[in-house]
Amino acid sequence: MNIKNKSILVTGGAGCVGSNIVKKLDSQGAKITVIDNLSAYPFDYLNEYGVGKIESVKFVKGDINDHELISKLIKNNDIVIHAAALADVGACVRNPHDEFQTNVRATQNILEICKKEEIQKFIFISSASVYGEPKGQIFKESDACFPVSNYGLSKYWGEQQTKLYNELYDLPTTSIRFFSVYGSPQTPKQGSHSWAVAIFSMLAKKGKPITIFGDGNQIRDFTHVSDIAESVVRSIDKDSTNGKFFNSGTGKPTTVNDIVKYVFENIDEVPIQYKPHPKGDPLGGYSDVTLMKKYLNWEPEISLDEGIKEYFEWLANHEHIIPEWF
């Protein structure tokens, strides 16, 4: 499937991950529609993150729970990339009702409409949070999933429902499990503890202490958002991904303490303080990327050193969006 001139709907397409997906789709000649309710941040991220400046993109401000609106949009597109979500572990713990409405109810509605309209492909954006606490340090797609947060459970449900729509109704689908996403234009949300690179970088930029939850030895697989977006776009054009779910990560373990060291290579050091590990946040691990390489014939290209340096370069020109609550 060549995506040039394909009509593609990206839900949540104005956000950090969504905007990177949209830019890659645009570079390949796709006809893109974005729906986003623009509620994630108090600033104009539609333009700050770049989607609003792409003339060829049709932008619709709206809610993915608006059945009439989402039906109309899906009907006019060939492919749906479902990136919209309440995409923060802490926010989902605090607001389980909102998490259910956005991550579960809306996903079900979108799947049903995609089936009805015989969409050519539905891509569900999932998360490594589906795994829960690791049995070892590496997560494989064959591992049993035991989510420990509302967010992880909602993503696991979305994966399973997506798989059922593939098996029962022949809807072409793919689910992609993102590992720890970082890189521009990621901006932390108040109360979040999920985005270490962005949070640590902005705190250091403001000369404020960095807070590490737990002892900092918990492992993550930090994957640049540009590589994350690339894995999504490549999966559109691969028949090998139909009905499958796979990890999108680097396959390289990094501790939270390591991230602090990388940050301090780009800015003056600030004090570090440690607090208890929050509930619902797994100790983590890193991805087995065997299936990703097999399905996509590709692997991430941006190293952590390069990615964090790039983030500081972006931050130097975007200090005005550092949240006031920092």
Q: Give the residue numbers marked as catalytic.
A: 151
CA 306 to chain centre: 20
Q: Name, in order, each residue with C-beta under 8 angstroms of 317's C-beta and a sequence gap of 6 or more.
A: none
Strand, coil or helix: 310: helix
Separation CA 269–CA 272 (nearest Å):
9
* H helical segments located in the chain: 16-27, 45-48, 67-75, 89-94, 96-99, 106-117, 150-169, 196-205, 225-236, 256-264, 290-296, 304-316
Burial of 141 (0-12, 13-18, 19+ CB in 10 A): middle
Separation CA 304–CA 223 (nearest Å):
8
Give backbone dihedrals phi and psi of 313, rounded to 5 degrees, phi first.
Answer: -65, -40
